[in-house]
Every structure is written in C-alpha cells, then in structure tokens.
Amino acid sequence: MIRTDKNKLSRVMDAQHVIETFNIEQTTNLLELTFSFTENTWAFLLLWDSNEKLRWQYLYTQDDKDKRITIGESSSLSSFSSVAGTIPKGYWKIEIFCMTYKKSPVFNLTMEDNPEQSNVPDEMINVVNWATVGETSGFELTSYDSSKVLKSGYQWYKGDFHTHTSQTDGKMTPKTNIQQAKKMGLDFFVATDHNIVPTKWVDDNQVLVIPGVEITSSQGHFNALGVNKWLDWRPSCEDGGMESEVGMNRILKEVKEAKGLRSINHPNLAPWHWTFQETDLNEVETIEIWNDPTFEDNIQATEQALVIWDTLLNDGHRIFGIGGSDSHLLPEDSYKEGGPPSLIGDPATYVYAKDLSADSILKAVSEGKVYVSRGPAIDIVVVSGEEKVELGSQFQADTVEFLLNIETTETDLVIEWVVNGEIEKTTPVSDTFIKETFDFTDKSFAWIRFNVRKKNGELLAFANPVFKGEKETSINTWGNL
C-alpha cells in the first residue's frame, strides 16, 4: 500500500526544483505510477527509492499527457530508462527539475504497488537490460558488454554519435531508431538522450547501440559517449551541477572515470552553443563539428565550428572532429515545410576500427581515425616515406601522400586541402581516385586535413588531420579559445 502526505512530506526547494515524497509500507515486486502536469511544461523527472537509488529518469515535454510507467523485479515489465529490481519499503521521492517556467509545477501523481501483472508490453519484446542498482547513488550499466563484437576486421564503420528518442524530446522510440538506422546503412549509433543514460535497448545483432547521454545545460550541451554509469548532472548539487562552471568541469571529469569520451555538441549553434568559459580543454576528446545539416542555422554554425577546430589544431591540441545527426524527428519530417527530412545518420561519422564493438569504436575515435560525410564514402590511405599513417596520428618523414577513393555520383566536387588552418590547394574531383603529395620539409610542426565540397561551397565531408611534430598548447580553456 502507498500513502502520500503532501502537507508533511512534499518539499519545494525552489520554484524550479520540487521533491515529492511518498511511502511504500511493504516491499513489493511491482510499482506503477501515472502522472501529468496541469500546464504545458518541460521537466526532468528522477525517481529515487527508499535506499536513495535512482530507479527511473524521464523528460516530460509539452506534448506529453498522462504518463504511465512500471518498475519491478522483472526487467521486461519495467519501463525504458528505469532500473529493474525489488521495490523496497520506505519513503520514495520524485525529483522534478522544471525547465520552462519560474513558478512551482503543479502535477497529478497516482501510484499502485503490486498491480495486477499483465503480459510483457510489445515495446519490451526483444529488449536487453543493461543496468543494475549501483553501490552508490544512481546506477551502473554492469550488464552492457562493451567488448561484444558484431563484425570483425579493420574497416570503416558507419555511425552516428548524437541521437534522441521518445524518452526525451525525440519522436522515434528505441525500436524505430534501430529500424531507421538499418535503412540508413549504419553499423552503430550512440544513444544520447537529454540527461538520461539508457538502462536497456532493443536487442539487435546487426546495429551496435552504444550507451551515452547528452548533458543538456542552459549554457551548452555535451555528449558523454560510452559511459558505464549514471552521471549526477543535477543543478541542486552542492557545486551547481551542469549549470555552474565548477559543476560542469566535475561532470566532464566523471565521464572519463565512467570510461566515456567527452564531445562538445554544436558549439556555435545559438541558443544551444557552448558558453562555459572555464572548460578545461584537456577534458575534451572531440567536438561535434557537424550537426544536422537539414537544420538551416547549422550551415553557418558548422563553418564556424571548423574555424574553432582549426584554431585548436594550430595551438597543438589533438582534439578530433566528429558529426551527429541530433535526430529528433520521424523519418518523413523536416524542420521546414517541403524541406529535406532530418534523418539518423545524416551526417554519418565513419570510424576506422579493428571491429564493430563499443570498445573498438570509441578507442578509434579517441585516436582521430574518423571522417564525416553526408554522401560520399571515402577510402583513405595516407603514406609518409615507407609508412602508412592513420588519420589522427603523426608522420615522421617530410612528405605525406594522400590516396583517396571516393564513391560518389556527384560531378561537381572539389577537395580543399587545409594546412595549418589555411586552404593550401584545391583539387577538382574529375575521377573517383585522387592522389596528392605535400612537402613539409621546412616545418617542424604542421597538420593537414581535407574537406570535400560541391563547387558552390556546400560541405559534403571532412576528415581528421595527420600531424608532423608536436606543439605545446597555450589555449587551455574554452574562454581562452
């Protein structure tokens, strides 16, 4: 039996942070909750059990109505973004972070313990559980096997590092995300819902799904790729969480401790651009240079991100560039009437890895073995002297030779060769095979990468650089940058 006593147990910390407490008088096997807000709102919801363990996460949006969830011993009967297990007796709490208005949110909550159990919901068929209740607060993805190999052999694996689902503000469910990823020919994608680490996913042996989270602050967003536990982003933390400089730097460090990579998202796309000044650039492995090309403002934001990236490379940083579709819509939807569809895998990020596993993909990304493309698939071979050079690595000889095999039907393409931030040469793509050699005899430090564009300037692809020599960095924080 569940008892609520709002006069004694409900506590409003401030207008945007509410904690509602309720009592479960005896341990049970299943808990069902239904709630709704009386006004349109956006609110992050966290459900904590009587042992202070996080058991469910959700972003309630203005499109939601009554939301029903279940949590219990059986993973198949526990909703997405929840952590299955026994429902212990004692005082539970729902923590609400309201994002859209200054007054305290008014909501309706109904609960039932040990409801009549039904068959496994359709959405839970073929779902694999990743999470277990952690030793500390939050939870851990102890059942996710990051070493599991779906395909073997060194090759370019096609994927997407920024995706959303109906667990936050996306339109596609985890199941439809998998289906659309297959249609787009993806080998992998990272699940990066807003402030929600996935606890389970649709089990599929063709598309690799890597757990992640988009830490979504009012001062900027970043992706934690491949994390193995929940991250405490709450603004109610003593250090201010994701809404303070100190808190955000703490979260970035904790991502590394959780075996994840840090990637600053759409850094120049206002109003979601990165505005933290004290971000330690040593705590960032990648930057999302290219975000959903079908969103009109991203055209300029991407060009600005390329300039920022070149500035970092010139300063000696080895921060690598990736892409992300930031997919929110259904495959047939567009951000403007009659416009192109916004699709998972557009742009695609290609990673040269030894196999298709989370461990291998993320290791290759951390080493810069990456190019990003909206269309042409590119086989890239780089040679310096007698040695083959991987993207992201350093060459020893004075010359470097690029051998590109471009799979495309486009006839008006050019390749921009960017050396130390300047376009040194432009090569028309008159054949699918391109060969170019560059001499760096007079340079102790240099780097070179390339962009593929249409002749009208539209970006179609970019690759990570190779380097000659090293340079001590002088730009240490985002504010300095």
pLDDT of residue 101: 56
**CA-wise closest residue to 357 among 151, 193, 184, 100:** 151
Q: Could you tell me if residue 282 is inside a domain?
A: yes
Span 388-427, pLDDT tens digits: 999 999 999 999 999 999 988 788 899 999 999 999 999 9
Q: Could you tell me if residue 134 is inside a domain?
A: no
pLDDT of residue 120: 60
| DSSP H helical ranges for 374-475 | none
What CATH number does the domain containing 220 carry? 3.20.20.140
- What Å distances lie between residue 327 and 33, 109, 473, CA to CA? 29, 31, 34
pLDDT of residue 16: 80
Q: What is the dihedral of CA 30, 36, 37, 38, to 10 degrees?
A: -140
Residue pair 342/294 in contact by the 8 Å Cβ criterion = yes
Q: Could you tell me if residue 455 is inside a domain?
A: yes
**Domain extent at residue 43:** 2-125
Q: Could you tell me if residue 11 is inside a domain?
A: yes
Can you tell me the distance from the alpha carbon of 269 to that of 292, in angstroms, rounded to the nearest whole number? 11
Span 352-391, pLDDT tens digits: 999 999 999 999 999 999 999 998 999 999 999 989 999 9
For the chain, which residues score pLDDT lower than 50? Answer: 1-13
Half-sphere exposure of 385 (CA within 13 A, CB side): 9
**CA-wise closest residue to 197 among 213, 178, 209:** 213
The answer on 207 and 111 residing in a single domain is: no
The answer on 341 and 235 residing in a single domain is: yes
Q: Could you tell me if residue 136 is inside a domain?
A: no
| DSSP H helical ranges for 81-197 | 174-183
**CA-wise closest residue to 366 among 226, 163, 191, 157:** 226
Q: Could you tell me if residue 476 is inside a domain?
A: no
Q: Could you tell me if residue 477 is inside a domain?
A: no
Can you tell me the distance from the alpha carbon of 85 to that of 74, in angstroms, rounded to the nearest whole number? 7
Last residue of a domain, one of 70, 90, 125: 125
DSSP 87: B
The answer on 322 and 260 residing in a single domain is: yes
Number of domains comprising the chain: 2
> What's this model's pTM, rounded to 2 decimal places?
0.94
Can you tell me the distance from the alpha carbon of 230 to that of 217, in angstroms, rounded to the nearest whole number? 16
**CA-wise closest residue to 74 among 107, 119, 34, 12:** 119
